[in-house]
Chain A
Amino acid sequence: EDKVVQSPLSLVVHEGDTVTLNCSYEVTNFRSLLWYKQEKKAPTFLFMLTSSGIEKKSGRLSSILDKKELFSILNITATQTGDSAIYLCAESRDDKIIFGKGTRLHILP
């Protein structure tokens, strides 16, 4: 069965904290690992990772891929209430994209 596993499933932190979200995947026909942020409606694209060990960064968000251990992490530093959302990890394969269940992140003011 196709599996992309995210942890934790939910997380509540205070504004200013740093969070790390985890994603593990399977290796079959792997092309890339994708991260999305979903607030009220459709997911919005954050990062695409194809190479191990190379950090992608956008403002306070960063992500890295480990192709040997088959996982990726998404870091958010100095969190703000606007970071509250569901963060989705997805594995892009040759023929389809498989999503994890997501991590629901809630930032308390």
Chain B
Amino acid sequence: NAGVTQTPKFQVLKTGQSMTLQCAQDMNHNSMYWYRQDPGMGLRLIYYSASEGTTDKGEVPNGYNVSRLNKREFSLRLESAAPSQTSVYFCASKELLWDNEQFFGPGTRLTVL
């Protein structure tokens, strides 16, 4: 099992460009999450999907959109990237919304110039 995979690993964008971060899990988990991690800020929840077909805003959703394409895949889209979105993005999944342990992907390091 690959667990949680993310692509790309690194990305550099110019202000105003758009891109989609991909996440997939092969553990048949129902819930999936997108976090961003900035120095001194810990992990902050952007969006999450409790189950296939549902998505909800987290702490910092502005400037992002998500799609739960199917049970395996949960993508994060930046429509018009801003320097403030420079961060490391982590995708995570867990079996059930109320299940306690999350499994994280390796992260995507995004720089917006």
In the complex formed, the residue of A with least CB distance to B44 is: A99
Chain B binding surface SS class:
loop
Total number of B residues with any Cβ neighbor in A under 8 Å: 23
Q: Which of B15-51 contact A (CB under 8 A)?
A: 33, 35, 40-45, 48, 50
Other-chain residue from A31, A98, A100 in contact with B98 (beta carbon distance below 8 A): A31
Known: A2-B59, A101-B42. A31 touches B100 (CB 8 A): yes
B35 / chain A contacts, CB cutoff of 8 Å: 99
Q: Which of B37-73 contact A (CB under 8 A)?
A: 40-45, 48, 50, 56, 58-59
Known: A2-B59, A95-B50. A43 touches B42 (CB 8 A): no
In the complex formed, the residue of B with least CB distance to A10 is: B40
Distance (Å) between the CB of A103 and the closest chain B CB?
10
Q: CA–CA, A12 to B33, complex, Å?
A: 32
Q: Which of B69-102 contact A (CB under 8 A)?
A: 90, 97-98, 100-102
